[in-house]
Amino acid sequence: MAIARKIVDFMERSSWIRKMFEEGAALKAQYGADQVCDFTLGNPDVPTPPEVEEELIRIIKEPIPMKYGYMPNAGIPAARQTIADYLKDEQQTEVSADGVIMTCGAGGALNVIFKAILNPGDEIIAPSPYFVEYNFYADNHGGVLKSVAPGPDFSLNLDGIAAAINEKTTAVIINSPNNPSGVIFPAAEIAALGRLLEEKSKEIGRVIYLISDEPYRKLVYDGVAVPPIFPVYRNSIVANSYSKELSLAGERIGYLALHPEADDFRQLVDGFIFANRVLGFVNAPGLMQRLVARCHGTTVDVSTYQRKRDRLYAGLVAAGFEVKKPQGAFYFFPKSPLPDDVEFVRELQKFKVLAVPGSGFAGPGYFRLAYCVDDATIERSLPIFKEVGEKFCRG
């Protein structure tokens, strides 16, 4: 075997999205791409705002010394300062630029955090459903991800989290707005989680970090806001990116921010910077750092996602699907009308609709539809969902 057994095993376990993508590609080749409704990929399709592209062109034309050169591993000071300034508002906390480190997206930020805090066998608790890559990110750094089933309507199950904590627990990772459920954890739940972690850290005699993975923070609807974590818990870290809010997913730009009053702040920051370096990221892409230093605060047109959400939600509900209206991000996570979500997704394929089984997100019994797709796909899918609903939901 050319590659490690563990990687073969991981590839097999993580292959739902890839499998669906490949099977979808075969369907598209057979029937034509415009005949297949592909809801598998969370690739943001609302265009990057024109003023952001114009700013990028300006930066390219400006004479900046060492514009394309190496830089401090933590990033360009102006980008870190801009973000720290914004976080004062967003996290309602006086954030220092020292605690902001520029990363290759939120995925890069999470790997940097995990590398810096995990000892072999340490555990990270993830309320399910969750972004499947967390498993692999934890394993990258010798950690183990422990899944905790959600409360009703995908709320935080605090009793479950409490029961999962033991002396190996290093962090709890939450993701709000959530991929795949679209849920935003309300302020009261976040505050209760903060109190729980405070208590449990004392009980086990070590700090349990709260990591908040927030790449969808700006993609929120109906005026709902994502509550900040810094005011409720000191030993907390935010991971964020511009992949979704500026549709810059391929450019790999994001950041992590450490609470200014976290225990051992300086040592943690130094650990993060070192991890950014030795993971081979070295630093986040320079042009993108300069760009977000000037454009942070701008977002894509979120109303476009909201319109798509509303249209598809109405269609799914009318078809008889049981689905919670997403408050943010760009995914639906309806209940599978068949007990086996994989079987149901295969049934959907027969109608030339591509989705991902909830099992791929530690959420069996559900399936995920990414609605960052063109309007034509949504319109084409509505009569199909009606037909599928008649067959599977009305029994």
Contact 368, 52 (CB under 8 A): no
Contact 40, 361 (CB under 8 A): no
Of 91 and 179, CB closest to ligand PLP:
179
When asked if residue 45 is in the footprint of ligand PLP (CB under 6 A), the reply is: no
Q: Is 84 helix (H, G, I), strand (E, B) or coil?
A: helix
Indicate the helix (H) or strand (E) that contains 252. none
- The residue whose Cβ lies closest to ligand PLP is 105
When asked if residue 241 is in the footprint of ligand PLP (CB under 6 A), the reply is: yes
User: In the bound complex, what is the minimum distance in angstroms from residue 284's beta carbon to ligand PLP?
Assistant: 11
Q: Binder to ligand PLP among 73, 111, 175, 289 (CB under 6 A)?
A: 175
User: In the bound complex, what is the minimum distance in angstroms from residue 233's beta carbon to ligand PLP?
Assistant: 20
When asked if residue 213 is in the footprint of ligand PLP (CB under 6 A), the reply is: yes
User: In the bound complex, what is the minimum distance in angstroms from residue 104's beta carbon to ligand PLP?
Assistant: 7
Report how many residues bind ligand PLP under the rule CB under 6 A: 13
Q: Burial level of 34, CB count in 10 A (0-12/13-18/19+)?
A: exposed
Number of other residues whose CB lies within 10 A of the CB of residue 227:
19
Segment contacting ligand PLP by CB under 6 A, of 65-73, 190-198, 241-249, 319-327: 241-249
User: In the bound complex, what is the minimum distance in angstroms from residue 267's beta carbon to ligand PLP?
Assistant: 25
Contact 212, 364 (CB under 8 A): no
What is the token pair recorded at 254? 């994001």
In Å, how far are 2, 79, 111, 299 from 180, measured between CA atoms? Answer: 33, 30, 20, 21
Q: Binder to ligand PLP among 75, 127, 150, 215 (CB under 6 A)?
A: 215
When asked if residue 249 is in the footprint of ligand PLP (CB under 6 A), the reply is: yes
Of 109 and 342, CB closest to ligand PLP:
109
CA 179 to centroid of chain Cα atoms? 6
Give, as ranges, the residues between 50 and 109 that touch ligand PLP (CB under 6 A).
105-107
User: In the bound complex, what is the minimum distance in angstroms from residue 320's beta carbon to ligand PLP?
Assistant: 28
Question: What share of residues in the chain are helix, strand, coil (percent, to 5)?
Answer: 45, 15, 40
Of 127 and 389, CB closest to ligand PLP:
127
Closest C-alpha to 294, from 49, 46, 44: 49
User: In the bound complex, what is the minimum distance in angstroms from residue 131's beta carbon to ligand PLP?
Assistant: 4
Q: Binder to ligand PLP among 39, 114, 131, 281 (CB under 6 A)?
A: 131
Tally of CA atoms within 13 A in the half-sphere of 361 that contains its CB: 30
**Residues near ligand PLP (CB under 6 A):** 42, 105-107, 131, 175, 179, 213, 215, 241, 243, 249, 254
